[in-house]
Structure formats: C-alpha cells, structure tokens
Structure 1
Amino acid sequence: MKLHSNNHSVFLMYYHLVFVVKYRRKVFDDEMSDYAKDMFIKLGKKYNISLVQWNHDFDHIHILFKAHPNTELSKFINAYKSASSRMIKKDFPQARKKLWKEMFWSRSFCLLTTGGSPINIVKKYIENQGLK
C-alpha cells in the first residue's frame, strides 16, 4: 500500500461515489458513460481527485476515486453534477427525451469512504492505545 503525501500530511483516502439519473431514467450507455468519465477525470484534476475505477448501469454510475485531505468534496461533486448535466444533455439529445427538465442527476448521491482497515480493527487499535 503506497501512501501519498504533501507538505504537511501523509494520507490514503479512497471514496466510493454513486450518482443516480433523475427519476431513475434508463439513459446511460457505454458512449455516454465514457463521456461522463472523461469529464470526471478532467474536472477531478482541479480538485486533486484521481479516478481509480468507473462503471455504469442504465440509470446510475459507480465511481471509486482517491482524494487529498484538502479536497472540498461537496464543491467538487456539485461542480461535476452541474457541468456533466449540462454537457450530457447538450451532446446527447436522446437524454432530453427522457429527462424533460434541466436536471440530469438526482439531487441526492451516495458517498462512502473505503479502503484501509475494517472499522472494527481501527476501533480496537484506538481502544488499545496507551495501555502498555
């Protein structure tokens, strides 16, 4: 496991992010997914975010990414959802037929931390600190 570092910290922060298409409309195909993935990679560079894994279904996407401790995740997520919604609807007119309003993504999303030790191992480690 290779840790990352900057001037003041050492870190390894993985996140699992799920975006759902508004109304769970089945609009995603491979071409649209690749387009959304490229946008994620480009915008992610501005926020110190690196894509690790990407996959999609017809109505949602799963993203595994790494981030720096100083990354403002909520700002990145809002920027990505806004830009990708606008560009997907512009460049994929078939999406507009199923999504008649401005929003492409559902307002909600799922963001989970992942990687490292299981939570019970970390809890046990913290409990045992200072006992020797």
Structure 2
Amino acid sequence: MANTYTQLYIHIVFAVKYRASLIDDSWAERLRKYIIAIVQNNGHKVIAINNMPDHMHMFVGMNPSQSISDLVRLVKGDSSEWINKERLIGSRFQWQEGYGAFSYGKSQVDDVVKYIANQQEHHKKFSFMNEYRMLLEKFEIEFDERFLFKLPE
C-alpha cells in the first residue's frame, strides 16, 4: 500500500509437540532454511533463526499485510509436512499447539539476534520451559500454566 511505512520486529517461539527432542542436528539446518523460505515467500524477512531439539526461535521483520498467527500457522504446517514427507524422524512430526510472539524495537535488534544465536549456550543454564516463562514474565503477559507447552498426559 502506498505511503505505508512500518518497522515491526517479532520474536516467535514455538515447540515440538509435547516438547519432544525430535529436531536432530543432522537436518536442523535444512529445516531452518526451509522455514526461512516460507517466511520470505510470505513477504517477511528472517533476521535470526535457531533451534534446540525441542523448540524453534525466529526473529522476523514483519510485513503488516499478514498477521503473525497466519504466518506461524503456515510455518508450522508447511514445515511439519516437509519433515514428515522427508521422513526425517521415525514417527509423525507435529509442532505443539500455540506459540509466543514478542515485539522489539530497532535498538533491541542486535541483542535479540545474539540471544537467538546463543541458544545452545543459554540452554546449558535454563530449560525451555524456564526460558519461555521468563519471556512471558519479561513482557508481563498473563498466562495459565495449564496451557503452556505441556507434556503428554
């Protein structure tokens, strides 16, 4: 749209279903590249992306023509379909329902990029659930423990 100018930086976090450690280092880079292509094909820019075996972090420069929820739905749906088609794990792969999305200003971009790049070091000190709770608390987001990324019952 003419005369529309935006600067929208969104940190998106989502987990493997039941927080299972299914993302293997042998194909994680291919997964990240696949997700980058999905994001770019939808008119956004991936500034940083990294994963642990049980979750994914993306930092995206958002185009306001698409909602965050629509982008995440496409990323999760298309990437899980790709993982299953490629038979990268011995069972059916699924992402956990839901996600976290956190907005940042331009002055914070470098810090968020470093944070996402250093996931492996960060998780030597904190579990994913502790990290996720810290993000929710930092952004003063009210949450119900029952609906956080949970384990099978």
Give the TM-score normalised by the residue count of structure 1.
Answer: 0.71
Q: Residue 61 of structure 1: SS of its match in structure 2?
A: strand
The alpha-carbon deviation at position 33 of structure 1 amounts to 2.2
The alpha-carbon deviation at position 95 of structure 1 amounts to 4.8
Match of 2:54 among 48, 54, 59: 59
Q: Which residue of 2 aligns with 1:21?
A: 16
Report if aligned partners of 1:40, 1:80 keep a CA contact under 8 Å in 2: yes
Identical columns (%): 23
Q: Which residue of 1 aligns with 2:101?
A: 111
Q: Which residue of 1 aligns with 2:83?
A: 88
Q: 1:105 to 1:95 in 2, by over 3 A?
A: farther
Q: Which string of whole-angstrom CA distances, capped at 9 and with x for unpartnered residues, describes residues 36-73 of structure 1? A: 21222212123211111111111001111101222222
Report if aligned partners of 2:50, 2:57 keep a CA contact under 8 Å in 1: yes
Please tell me the residue identity of whatever aligns with 1:22. K
Q: Residue 106 of structure 1: SS of its match in structure 2?
A: coil
Report if aligned partners of 2:40, 2:46 keep a CA contact under 8 Å in 1: no
Q: Which residue of 1 aligns with 2:142?
A: none
- Within a 5 Å distance, the mapping from 1:8-47 to structure 2 comes to 8-47=3-42
CA RMSD of aligned residues (A): 2.1
Unaligned 5+ runs, structure 1: 1-5, 119-132
Report if aligned partners of 1:53, 1:65 keep a CA contact under 8 Å in 2: yes
Report if aligned partners of 2:83, 2:89 keep a CA contact under 8 Å in 1: no
The alpha-carbon deviation at position 117 of structure 1 amounts to 6.4
Q: Residue 47 of structure 2: SS of its match in structure 1?
A: strand
Q: Which string of whole-angstrom CA distances, capped at 9 and with x for unpartnered residues, describes residues 11-39 of structure 1? A: 21100001100011111123332122122
Aligned structure 1 segments of 4 or more residues deviating by more than 4 angstroms: none
Q: 1:73 to 1:95 in 2, by over 3 A?
A: farther
